[in-house]
Structure 1
Amino acid sequence: MAIMQKAPFLGAALLSVCWGCQTTNDTRYKEWSDYGGGPDHSKYVDYKQITRENVNQLEVAFVYPSGDNVNYRFNPIVVDGVMYVLAKNNSLVAINAATGEELWIHANLRGIIQRGVNFWQSKDKKEKRLLICLNNTLQAIDANTGQSITTFGNGGYVDLKQGLDRDPATFGRATSTTPGKVFDDLIILGSAPGENLFSGPGHLRAYNVISGELEWVFHTIPHPGEYGYDTWPEEAYKYVGGTNTWGEISVDEDRGIAYFPLGSPTYDYDGADRAGSNLFGNCILALDARTGKRLWHLQTVHHDIWDYDLAAAPQLITVNHEGKKVDAVAVASKHGFLFVFDRVTGEPLWPIEERPVPASDMPNEEAWPTQPFPTVVPPFNRQLVSEDDINPYFSAEEKEKWTARVAAAKKGLFHPLSDQYEVVTNPGAVGGANYGNTAADPQNGIVYVQTQELVDFYSLKKREPAPQRGGFGGGRNPGVSPERIAQGKALYAQHCIACHGENRAGIDGLGTTLVNLSTKVNSEAFKSILAVGKGRMPGFPHLNETDVAAIYAYLTPEAQRGGGNRGGDAPELPEGPVVASGGVAVDLPASGGQRMTDYPSTYTGPRSEYVETNNWGLGVPNLLTPPWSLIVAYDLNEGKIKWKIPLGNDDSIPGSENLSMPNGSQGKGMVVTSTGLLFSTCLDGRVYAYNTDDGQMVWSADLGRNNPGGLPAMYEVDGRQYLVVCSVGSLKDKSKAESDVPKGYVVYALPKR
């Protein structure tokens, strides 16, 4: 029986915070002091030196070399003239932000999330801390000295697998793959437990940045008596996982409201065991940042069976709406919609309609009969694939093949998956807007979305029984059995072979070689790469820790024989002012305990029996007619698209200009300036600047490498304005030597006067 969703909105009278307290903050938009710039995640800066008139004079001021072969996706933080970056075999490094001189190095933080860290400082600015997530722990590092703070938590760390109301041994990852947000003396965190069957729950939490004490928890899979419990089967909180914020959190620091984009429940393609709308899966959720109390929510996908997580940062803007100033929040989705709300009450600025969608023909699957469709505000992606959309640059043979496949598939947004046929849709699970892909001009009501037209062919197959699995280990792993190798081989064939090839040698233009992988990447780094992605490859949150271990075991036979770069080897210290290594010593159970592989003994309902067989569009990243990646500017004073432009260029197509880059926005980011510029990175190995009035490109720089990683950042030191881009990809021009092309954090500025 369908369970109706309760009304998502709460009146302003129920809110427990003061709405009129607009505090003065002299550093607002003047520092890049947190992941995404600041609390509101707008990526907006109020600097005046670089303008539309002089941006074409930008030049490289200095490069801080990363010093290794790790493909970082790190967003630097810059405070009081010090830049904090990840480099040198996962070491956290503090450098002089004007010169690149190293100040300190905390080496060998293997397993640190590679997108960024969080920064906190006391009101007198004397005490400064970096909050990092490392191998299922939260740790604090003194930003002045680079040394671990051992008074934080339990001897310097917090075990993030604790406090989730389940046996920690039954699930793997509890760390987020994206930094949280600092608000007052709290660090607010999401998590990335994976989206496979029986992954851990994605509850939201806040910890005290001084003591490490847990301050509050919000159950995203409601417990008995909690709001939303009746949108699930009874006791679903005991076996359903996911429903997590693995993407970007935004905070209204004046009002003390935190906004969370939430992902799919497990298993995200087969919801037979979770009949109902499944709150708070796929919601934009507003919580009191101090207490974790729910203020309002809106579910953008009911009973998600397409992996349409919300991941991009909610954008906090002020708009003129119906003759009044309204503080609003806009959230961009994977399936191409922009939802816009009054950020205090949760009321949509324009109506959101519930429209009928197709029913499922799978046994026990109760697809939700309607889905939310924004009105007025147009989508930023195409949302239907037809035979007329096939890429005209394909060969005749390729075009015929893909045209026939599209013609045979079921089509349309929200068409349920089946084991009897394929469903083709755009955007797919990694299309649309992803993490890093939103920015704003907050006071003028303009929101920018980076997006990609990445098609998915979905289908289902019966799930194979889960084998008993060990975990990662150092050197030869006694848990690596022939069955584990076979499991890894099957997972590789499902998820990796389209880009890396049957022989693991890589396919040109799609994936790099994985031969002798253990000599390049140890097991901890491999876990991180699979979680967050690398280059064109997205992250694979569906794969739990033991699945990843099986793939690594299959790919590293040399390590299983005892050779290669083993996870237990003592790490070397990099050159430079090393002050510490490895974070604090932790006393945690070894990974790879007995995972939850079956439902609770009291469960008698339908079971999730199917898995999805797609490849997240990666085998055909440019199936459609171009452009394949775009930047879309919305004027939300009117609810209209202001302009839309291709992002990047596919240089492999001779004579083409501005076709855009397939998968070009994946994991990239933007910077918006008060002088009317929008900077953006792209997979084509360039950084661009656009006029925010009309989207016209006014500057670009070729970094000489594929895949500038992570979000760019902008800052000012002694009156000079800088743009920093993490450029650590492979060489674009194979005729050049590595030493000829900078690799690391490339910093641009205007020439010194």
Structure 2
Amino acid sequence: MPGCGFGKGLWPCLSLAVVVLGGCGNDVSQTGQSAPVVANFAAGLDQGWPQYRGDLAGSGFSASDQITPANVTQLKPVWTFSTGESQRSQAELKNTAFEATPVLLPAEAGGHLALCTPYNDVIALDPQTGEQRWRFDAHADRRGRRAGKCRGVSWWLDSEAAPGSECRSRIVTATHDRRLLAIDSLTGKACSGFGEGGEVKLYSPAEGFVPGDIASSSAPLIANGRIVVGSGVVDFQRAKTPHGTVQAYDVMTGKKVWQFNMIPTADSTPEVRASWPDNVGDVSGSANAWAPLSADPDHDLVFIPTGAPSPDFYGGLRPGNNLNANSVIALSLSTGQVVWRYQFVHHDLWDYDTPAMPLLTTVTQDGEDLPVVIQVTKQGYVFVLHRLTGVPVYPVTEMAVSQKAVAGEWVSPTQPKPAFMPTLMNTQINADDAWGLTPWDKSACRRAIAQLHNEGLFTPLQLNQFTVLMPGSLGGANWGGAVLWKEKNLMYVNVNTALFAARLVPNTQALSDGHLPQAGKTLRISMQGTPYSIENKTLLSPLGMPCVAPPWGKLMAVDLSTGDVRWESPLGSIHDMGPVKLPFHINWGTPNLGGAIVTGGGVVFIGATMDRQFRAFDALTGDVLWSHELPADGVASPMTYTLDGKQYVVISAGGHHMYGRPMSDQVIAFALQP
């Protein structure tokens, strides 16, 4: 796509910038014999990675410590695996997002690395060689406007069943076409006793079902014998959308145990019903849980991060605070009953979903260790809530926000803001913050920002006049979320910091396939069923560079005991984002999607950027220690494990489908090589 800007063909004017700067269904295929490999694996396992983010608490931490700041430069690829998706047509490939993080199963579960393709085929690999052991064909329905994506699978072991019995250990995945599949982890065959032939439909045919309007991307959560699964809903194109329900199923039989409705029903509490209109089912929907869930099995709790109601940018049809949306909700794993809820955005008008897996840990306050939930948000905030009550452990204020809005809109008078934890980015942008490569460039940005409607964070969109969106709907934080090195009390989170602008215009009822603006273009999305469409764009200088100073993506370390930012480093180089790839890095940060991990060796690993780089940072200083060029952007969270005394680090390299970046289907493992 021609032009300059975030997205496909990003910053074609980069060469000029460099001159200015002076150079700057159950089909199974099997290979190999698994039994001897499992025996070796059992003898050699030192540190594993059994859950999507390492554990049910979402820590993203591994005690593996062979790789350190002193030797990480010796890290080299040791095997590569291709899922085969790149052999499909470019049109099919562009409608996918390979964002999978593998899990490492224990020996009694097969000792495999298990991962999913964008349309939910499940693959078991030898963790030492990357060779395929088996592949399960999910036969997913690929129709619909929503890109196929699967960020991970989950597994469960029935410790009471006899070793070797069918599906004693099972892998579970939630599919693009809304099915829950259970697969024997040893054989790669469907679990016949689960649902009907190994699958359960996550929708009622009587309700109607349009593939792609509602899908699944995050790994289902399994704890205390329950499989809990949310959903992804296309929530920005129309007012009335599928409701964001969370469902729990028996892990053995697939029988539904409970369902929790985000959009109120007759069974909802009066408080929740009063925060929505009586006809909410006809005028709104979504408020779905598309991000990963976390759990505290000891307290029988599952934590649900929820998104915005539909449509994202206009709420005149859904007056009220819209409780359950834009929240974290603690539900009983056993019953699905609400234990507590906390809302981060009242009556969302900005697509500020709760985007990331809630992080569970403990903090010390007045000499007492408190169990907490830490939630990073798109708006750049960090909330710390008591895990058992939902009460903020660190103060939160309700700040007054702009009330100027289009006719018919309803605006909350206040929004929550943490008073102790840092804001992860500057959200108060004005003309004085304009940036450019030259005085001419900077002056143009200053004029552009001055023309925007701007009353700070949570300013409602205006009719026919662009409003500052800082952050935009990308965030801030996104689904990569935060990870924790508990021993050092440090939390790590990657953040987007580019400036967006948006406005409402009279509705044309024209659908758009996009969600984020690309290539310097203004993206127009019709919010069908409302009076308005939204136009959204990145705010760029005449040279095609963002109008605020870099970094435009960064990685941060936050001290949870003091609230101090220990360090922050640019995340990403713009050298690969123009029409010609430059031979040197320009580390000004890029948009980033995907998360980090941190290890006991003191290293933070992260891909996520739009420059094909996989990086290692010093966890204590933020220095970049090592980087490796991938075949495509590593838009996935990595994982690590130690086997037979060797530590491996693994990442999927799939490419940014939303930004038109090169696509791939490779999984790459790294280890120290002399």
**TM-score of the two chains, using structure 2 as the length reference:** 0.80
Q: Alignment partner of 2:640: what SS?
A: strand
Q: Structure 2: how far apart are the matches of 1:176 and 1:637? A: 36
Say whether residues 1:104 and 2:130 are aligned partners: no
| Deviation (angstroms), 1:729 | 4.1
Aligned match of 1:684 in 594, 600, 611?
611
Aligned match of 1:331 in 367, 375, 380?
375
Q: Alignment partner of 1:345: what SS?
A: coil
CA deviation profile, 1:347-366 (whole Å, cap 9, x unmatched): 21221111111113311212
Match of residue 470 from structure 2: 426
Say whether residues 1:745 and 2:672 are aligned partners: no
Alignment of 1:71-86 (within 5 A): 72-80=98-106, 81-86=111-116
Q: Structure 2: how far apart are the matches of 1:142 and 1:359? A: 55
Match of residue 300 from structure 1: 344
Q: Structure 2: how far apart are the matches of 1:543 and 1:56? A: 49
Instruction: Flag the 1:617–1:693 CA change in 2: closer, same or farther, 3 A.
Output: same
Say whether residues 1:114 and 2:187 are aligned partners: no
Instruction: Flag the 1:365–1:84 CA change in 2: closer, same or farther, 3 A.
Output: same
Instruction: Flag the 1:742–1:272 CA change in 2: closer, same or farther, 3 A.
Output: closer
| Deviation (angstroms), 1:346 | 1.4
Say whether residues 1:499 and 2:516 are aligned partners: no
Q: Alignment partner of 2:73: what SS?
A: helix
Q: Structure 2: how far apart are the matches of 1:436 and 1:495? A: 18
Q: Verify the 8 A CA contact 2:78 2:670 in the aligned structure 1.
A: yes
Instruction: Flag the 1:496–1:641 CA change in 2: closer, same or farther, 3 A.
Output: closer
| Deviation (angstroms), 1:225 | 4.8
Q: Alignment partner of 1:404: what SS?
A: helix
Which amino acid is 1:747 matched to? A
CA deviation profile, 1:81-139 (whole Å, cap 9, x unmatched): 31123459864221110111221122464446322222222226752222122212112
Instruction: Flag the 1:655–1:397 CA change in 2: closer, same or farther, 3 A.
Output: farther
Say whether residues 1:674 and 2:596 are aligned partners: no
Match of residue 480 from structure 1: none
CA deviation profile, 1:567-593 (whole Å, cap 9, x unmatched): xxxxxxxxxxxxxxxxxxxxxxxxxxx
Which amino acid is 2:368 matched to? K
Q: Structure 2: how far apart are the matches of 1:386 and 1:407? A: 7
Alignment of 1:367-378 (within 5 A): 367-378=411-422
Say whether residues 1:192 and 2:120 are aligned partners: no
Match of residue 175 from structure 1: 215
Q: Structure 2: how far apart are the matches of 1:159 and 1:743? A: 28
Match of residue 38 from structure 1: 55
| Deviation (angstroms), 1:399 | 4.5
| Deviation (angstroms), 1:202 | 0.2
| Deviation (angstroms), 1:401 | 4.3
Aligned match of 1:413 in 447, 457, 461?
457
Which amino acid is 1:499 matched to? A
Q: Verify the 8 A CA contact 2:553 2:572 in the aligned structure 1.
A: yes
**Cα-Cα RMSD:** 3.2
Aligned match of 1:404 in 438, 447, 455?
447
Structure 1, 671-680 or 330-339: larger mean CA deviation? 671-680
Which amino acid is 1:129 matched to? R
Say whether residues 1:629 and 2:553 are aligned partners: yes
Match of residue 629 from structure 2: 702
Q: Alignment partner of 2:450: what SS?
A: helix
Q: Structure 2: how far apart are the matches of 1:88 and 1:348? A: 37
Aligned match of 2:266 in 224, 244, 254?
224
CA deviation profile, 1:540-560 (whole Å, cap 9, x unmatched): 9x899xxxxxxxxxxxxxxxx
Q: Structure 2: how far apart are the matches of 1:294 and 1:29? A: 39
Q: Structure 1: how far apart are the matches of 2:411 and 2:538? A: 21
Q: Structure 1: how far apart are the matches of 2:453 and 2:242? A: 33
Q: Alignment partner of 1:459: what SS?
A: strand
Which amino acid is 1:379 matched to? T
Q: Verify the 8 A CA contact 2:52 2:103 in the aligned structure 1.
A: yes
CA deviation profile, 1:675-694 (whole Å, cap 9, x unmatched): 22211113322222222222
Which amino acid is 1:338 matched to? V
Instruction: Flag the 1:445–1:495 CA change in 2: closer, same or farther, 3 A.
Output: closer
Q: Which runs of 5+ in 1 are unaligned?
A: 1-26, 466-486, 503-536, 545-596, 599-607, 731-737
Which amino acid is 2:151 matched to? R
Say whether residues 1:132 and 2:149 are aligned partners: no
Say whether residues 1:257 and 2:301 are aligned partners: yes
Say whether residues 1:148 and 2:178 are aligned partners: no
Q: Structure 2: how far apart are the matches of 1:627 and 1:658? A: 10
Aligned match of 2:327 in 283, 297, 316?
283
Q: Structure 2: how far apart are the matches of 1:189 and 1:497? A: 30
Q: Structure 2: how far apart are the matches of 1:451 and 1:28? A: 34
Q: Structure 1: how far apart are the matches of 2:169 and 2:492? A: 32
| Deviation (angstroms), 1:497 | 7.9
Which amino acid is 2:113 matched to? M
Which amino acid is 2:610 matched to? L
Match of residue 278 from structure 2: 234
Alignment of 1:474-623 (within 5 A): 487=510, 491=512, 498-499=518-519, 608-615=530-537, 622-623=546-547
Q: Alignment partner of 1:709: what SS?
A: coil
Structure 1, 356-365 or 408-417: larger mean CA deviation? 356-365
| Deviation (angstroms), 1:75 | 0.9
Q: Structure 2: how far apart are the matches of 1:422 and 1:172? A: 31
CA deviation profile, 1:153-181 (whole Å, cap 9, x unmatched): 23432222229xx8335896333222221
CA deviation profile, 1:372-400 (whole Å, cap 9, x unmatched): 1110211001102222333423x666545
Instruction: Flag the 1:621–1:365 CA change in 2: closer, same or farther, 3 A.
Output: farther
Q: Verify the 8 A CA contact 1:271 1:366 in the aligned structure 2.
A: yes
Aligned match of 1:92 in 122, 126, 150?
122
Identity, % of aligned positions: 28
Q: Verify the 8 A CA contact 2:538 2:546 in the aligned structure 1.
A: no
Q: Structure 1: how far apart are the matches of 2:620 and 2:467? A: 39
Instruction: Flag the 1:419–1:425 CA change in 2: closer, same or farther, 3 A.
Output: same
Instruction: Flag the 1:444–1:291 CA change in 2: closer, same or farther, 3 A.
Output: farther
Structure 1, 254-263 or 219-228: larger mean CA deviation? 219-228
Match of residue 660 from structure 1: 588
Aligned match of 2:290 in 246, 260, 268?
246
Which amino acid is 1:221 matched to? I
| Deviation (angstroms), 1:617 | 7.0
Q: Alignment partner of 1:651: what SS?
A: helix
Q: Alignment partner of 2:449: what SS?
A: helix
Q: Structure 2: how far apart are the matches of 1:354 and 1:729? A: 39
Match of residue 561 from structure 1: none
Q: Alignment partner of 1:721: what SS?
A: strand
Q: Alignment partner of 2:519: what SS?
A: helix
| Deviation (angstroms), 1:220 | 1.1
Structure 1, 403-412 or 260-269: larger mean CA deviation? 403-412
CA deviation profile, 1:432-454 (whole Å, cap 9, x unmatched): 00001321124553221110102
Q: Structure 2: how far apart are the matches of 1:355 and 1:729? A: 39
Q: Structure 2: how far apart are the matches of 1:28 and 1:315? A: 26
Q: Alignment partner of 1:499: what SS?
A: coil
Q: Alignment partner of 1:388: what SS?
A: helix
Q: Structure 1: how far apart are the matches of 2:516 and 2:414? A: 34
Q: Structure 1: how far apart are the matches of 2:211 and 2:125? A: 38
Which amino acid is 1:244 matched to? N
Q: Verify the 8 A CA contact 2:156 2:171 in the aligned structure 1.
A: yes
Which amino acid is 2:174 matched to? C
